[in-house]
Amino acid sequence: MFLSVFDLFKIGIGPSSSHTMGPMTAADRFLREIADGEWPRPAGVAVARLSASLHGSLAHTGVGHASDRAVMLGLQGLTPDGVDPDKSEAILADIRAKRRVSPPGHPEYAFDPDTDLVLDKKTPLPGHANGMAFSAFDADDRLLLRRVYYSVGGGFVASEEELQKLKAQGKPPVDKNVPYPFANAREMLAMAAESGLSIAEMKRANEETRLSTDELDEGLDRIWEAMKSCIERGLSQEGVMPGGLNVRRRARYLHGRLDEEWRQNRPNPLLANDWLSVYAMAVNEENAAGGRVVTAPTNGAAGVVPAVMRYWLRFHVDADRKGIHDFLLTAAAVGGIVKHNASISGAEVGCQGEVGSASAMAAAGLAAVLGGTPEQVENAAEIALEHHLGMTCDPVGGLVQVPCIERNALGAVKAVTAASLAVKGDGTHFVSLDAAIETMRQTGVDMNERYKETSLGGLAVNVVEC
């Protein structure tokens, strides 16, 4: 197993990594398959029309998560890290008006969103809850090519063949071509003890088998700059978020009150919680509005890690650039273990896999930069994850707004509490991180599908009924 820090932290757009970034990436993959893939190409016949269908969780919450828009943008040749959120509406309007897409390097293809983009709520695809199929037809409407893809969480996409191979082999094989190929927390701690290195140092050594030191550091700087910019934009915006729930942005107003309190030097026993919450809400309000965000490890949980980092940078005088890098590397090490042994997908295991994983990652990163030992870092991650076990994914209206925005705030608060408890101890604890991850996996298997990002249960139903 080797998941890069840049696999866990990907720059993209909101509102969802699995429901927005994943479909956009899949659409781009389909275009590349049309152009370069090995498939039977009848002589004198060319692709003239494209279509797409979304299934399972993607169909149930596709509009609220902008999955339909993501497919359209992807078939236009845009990618999550390249699309300008401020220009996307004009691009979508052009596609709807012309009923065509014109991706770079391709001819124009007929594509009418009203008929060629189907949200099929009745026919789930067998591989994963987030399934989608893309088809290409010739001018006589004969099917030339069909491909199925699955969005498996955090913006990761697998083809039907890739997913079948993964399931056949069980967990992905451990990558032995890195110095510290830990596949779980037990191995990570053993390697740290043997090498005398921190978790961040081991993760850095693994990353530097693929990147130079300068490339790695510059990439980590880009990730933090994107996170910081998302916070700052979120703190500057106001008004009602899109989607129809009429939920107003609150981060700017709350930030103004906190700033005023800060300038007046008023005592505030809830200071840490307040700042953590407003930073996390700023990110997730921006995500809900379709802005530029970083998966951490998903969009739905994108506010937790940046909020804890911003809090640390503001309130800890020894915070510096190296600490930012160590925080991200440590968090990515923990996130990689979670993804390898369980899931970070709300459609697979509920929100315990999104905000729970994010909180564990943030707790580990904070414990590391506070000087925690590897054992204390692992303890911090375990505490944070343990106290998210069983959390459902039940977005009201299929939108990443209620309860998702506040849920990130509470995930950040739990992360700081977990890190504080861990670094004040000696690293000895009763429940291991591996046990918590396995429990999360089992809980996700047992969880009813209504509570896995389908908006068919929980708050998604009861808020409307009330």
Res 1: pLDDT? 58
Res 269: pLDDT? 81
* Cα of 163 vs its chain's centroid, Å: 19
* 248 strand-pairing partners: 240
Res 68: pLDDT? 95
Contact 137, 109 (CB under 8 A): no
Residues of the chain with pLDDT under 70: 1, 171, 464-466
Contact 202, 179 (CB under 8 A): yes
Domain residue spans of the chain: 17-169, 185-465
Rounded distance between C-alpha atoms, residue 107 and residue 31, angstroms: 11
Helices (H), 299-342: 304-315, 321-341
Q: Is 54 helix (H, G, I), strand (E, B) or coil?
A: strand
Query: Among 155, 99, 147, which Cα is nearest to 125's?
Result: 147
Res 271: pLDDT? 85
Res 464: pLDDT? 61
**Tens-digit pLDDT profile for residues 424-447:** 999 999 999 999 999 999 999 999
Contacts of 356 (CB under 8 A, 6+ apart): 384, 385, 388, 389, 391, 411, 440
User: How much of the chain, in percent, has pLDDT values that exceed 90?
Assistant: 87
Res 30: pLDDT? 98
Architecture of domain 17-169: 2-Layer Sandwich (3.30)
